[in-house]
Amino acid sequence: MKLKNFDLGNKLIVAPMADVSDAPFRKISKEYGAGLTYTPMVSAKGIVENDFHALQLFSFGRDEKPIGVQLLGNSPDYLAGAVQELKNYKPDVIDINCGCPVDKVTKHNLGAQLLDDPIYMGKLIESMVKVAGDISISVKLRLGKSDGKINILETSKIAQESGASFIIVHTRTKNKKYKEDPDWEWLRKVKDTVKIPVVGNGSLFTPQDIKRMIAETGIDSVMIARGALGNPFIFNRYNKYYETGEDSGEPTIEEVAEAAIKHSKLLAREYSDVIATIKARKNIVWYFKNLDGVMVFASKIMRAKNIEEQIEIIHEHIENLKQNFYSKDDRELIDQKFKERVLFWLDE
């Protein structure tokens, strides 16, 4: 997929995810074959007003390029101001989030709530494009508010007319959030409606899922979200699958451990001991979710006092797996729980 200032080729895009898409997560994704990553969504107002937390969220290193920054905002002035400020840092893409369905976002007329007023959404996009220069502007969309109020063809056309470089379409409505199966048929309709590149998103967990979405809808690329949690392997797997038609398959136990430890060490370098340990918990468990004994393992990881102890638990767990120490987990049930709730090992 070719954009203003770079060519993504056939590589995949990693979705911006709150409390997930930090520098360690992005670097692991890139190392394992992702083409483009995004920082977590950040308030446009926060950037303009030099809020420390906002500035932390979008910070990235030159070695991470190409990289995108996703903005959350509903004011043309703040969005334009944020883009103007971000130009100093030279991201390759700046996205406006018109797809987040979470109540704490939509109640402030942000995220997917913007889909209810496509004309105003277009004005927001225009305000960004006018000052973006050679930076690509992307728009993250959903199908609409609900099944009875699907307006993705209208919002897609408005995004194009407003100057967006490409759009990303999550194939569920705002009301469905992340439940129920995505509706890929709308991707084909969107692709037939607009001329700018269309990126598909929604419940993609295997190279076969990705290839099928592209083949069935004709879209230009795919964005991976939950499918990348504890699974950076999906990027190289897809790259090889695209090039050769052969899937290298699930990673070995040793490969999973290597990636999990590498990710944990990156967290230790990025954050204080306490914060790194907390952030490592969910990431480590995600890596091992497809292997037996994950609930026992998660309990130990949650209690570990530091990264070093977590890594020791990983080594112990690997040895237990090699010796078939654990009884067989219900893989289908755990997979279902993960897709419904990514922190599936925690009590409701």
Contact by Cβ (8 Å): 59, 69: no
Q: Is 50 exceeded by the pLDDT of residue 145? A: yes
Half-sphere exposure of 63 toward its Cβ, with a 13 Å CA cutoff?
A: 8
User: Is 142 found in the same domain as 17?
Assistant: yes
**Range(s) of the domain holding residue 184:** 13-244
Q: Is 30 in a helix, a strand, or coil?
A: helix
Calpha distance 197→175 (Å, rounded): 26
The answer to whether position 4 is within a domain reads: no
Instruction: Give the model confidence (pLDDT) of 98-107 as tens digits.
Output: 999 999 999 9
Please name which of 318, 272, 255 lies closest in space to residue 31, comparing C-alpha atoms: 255
Tell which of 213, 244, 275 closes a domain: 244
Is there a domain that residue 181 lies in?
A: yes
Which are the catalytic amino acids? Answer: 100
What pTM, to 2 d.p., does this model score? 0.94
Average pLDDT over residues 281-291: 97
Q: Which helix (H) or strand (E) holds 82?
A: helix 76-86
Res 340 pLDDT > 90: no
What pLDDT score does 301 carry?
98
Number of structural domains the chain divides into: 2
Please check whether residues 229 and 265 belong to one and the same domain. Answer: no
**For position 147, what pLDDT does the model report?**
87
User: 266 and 212, same structural domain?
Assistant: no
- For the ranges 68-77, 161-170, 217-226, 337-346, which has the lowest average pLDDT? 337-346
Q: Report the alpha-carbon distance of residue 179 to residue 328 in Å, rounded.
A: 27
| pLDDT for position 348 | 41
CATH number, position 111: 3.20.20.70
Per-chain mean pLDDT for the chain: 95
pLDDT band at 176 (very low <50, low <70, confident <90, very high): confident
Confidence (pLDDT) at 179: 64
